Structure 1
């Protein structure tokens, strides 16, 4: 059975201050992850930013609302901490895109979610948060003074009521330090190329990461986001529609140097909280990402203080960990979340996901 995208009113676009601040709300966790990924792998940051810019605009116009476009956090997190190389990340993105497109077209998203179980998905989120936190500590130890200053900025802004915006402030300070060290970059249009950062490599690690990511994507990026579209924007967009659009995004972006991308309830909620009400927020953010891609040079990235990068990762890790536990209100579910997270940190996320799914099945039968 084939699913078609919903009809939307594309004329409902605004370019107000609320749309601009809402757009920034969606970039709070996106930009730190992209900078960290580019600093730790062979990925081309300009190509990645162009991918995000293009698909922010595409889905903002298509759905007529400020739908989020985010990195697939499990896969990107594994790449940042060294568990996946960029070629493995690219292969995982293509595989995930193919699966999402297929299950979306045949209306299978809800069935996959029921088989896996939400506590297992939350456990994967917690595992990635722990891995990111471990990497954040390693990066921060290189310059404890700089890391301490970054944490102080985050803490002061949080006390002042600007906890979410603190990440962008630290990112801006790191960018300013990089410009001071490397000089102002000359704007350059990223070169159009197929797999500019490396040919995909499908390995066991890539397969494990894909399986773990799909669990998160089905639960958060498809089902939870579909529900939030109705709650916040009174829009009837199915989880299978969202799965299909995520599949299209990955299959189109990864070959041109992009990374695996998805929708997400957190990004959608962030846009809403900061004032976005229409697809105009996506258009503004997309233009911003493309403009940033023109100045994101390798020299600038190399000059970015790694200790501040550790601070950014720590904040992202804490947010991801908080989101993993927020909806858990049952002791057995809590045990599964913690268990999957700890096994993911100690062994790997793929093994944790499989063991968690088996444990969920056994518990559900009792």
Structure 2
């Protein structure tokens, strides 16, 4: 199988680089300065066991590939806000032997949140969810770091909306030869909703810095508890913290990488790169949406969504809001819903 990584940033670059390192055929899809760096100098992947450069085919879209093959696997790793654009580009692309990518090829959505795969299912017939537990960083064109050890990450796989099949098992086998653990599960959404609850802190970190001291941890716990109330009201199942810890153990411990400090998660990285967009609408905004559908107030998630979008739109420096100011705004927001 050939793996086409649509969005070769932090997650996509780490997956693509590790697959390539294990001998699999990989194509990287990127844009702008990152595409130029990948095309001209290759992907530099920094991991605990060393730094590797992979000279892989790098394209901006399907037209540069010379055609899709029947054995291609598409891995969608763009931020959710970029999903529709990617689907519009890749869905109609013809596949050798007839038909289009949307009709014939498997699409694995390696994204935060849960909306990307739902958007994909409007276009693609064979959609797979991926619960991404993969600490990685992309802030410099052409360079991706992933500090997880002894494994690079854990990627639960399953068909969307539910079930498993031979394709998922084949992809999992390739990933497990490439420094990942890849459980194939019939209820991948249950793991993705659990990860969504963890990702509710992404906006907090992006706006006010690391969730490190007691005050920041306490605020995040309130944000997460709000999310749990919403999921419970919606009847949506999610893996418990205890279940996640028991499965992960110390398989993906984050270790320091020389010359590759990890400043923050995916939302922090978006602000650091000055992209002008952020995925808060599909993380905290997912909780806000479900809250409104099921009559559960979500003032803290609404606040973080609004602040993260403002930071992205105005290209503010990540972590530049004093925590005291954020705490004051959170108190005001919570008081309005009593």
TM-score normalised by length of structure 2:
0.32
Higher RCO (Cα < 8 Å, 6 or more apart): 1
Quick check: which one's strand share is greater? 2
- Structure in which a larger fraction of residues adopt helix: 1
When the two structures are superposed, what TM-score results if normalisation uses the length of structure 1?
0.30
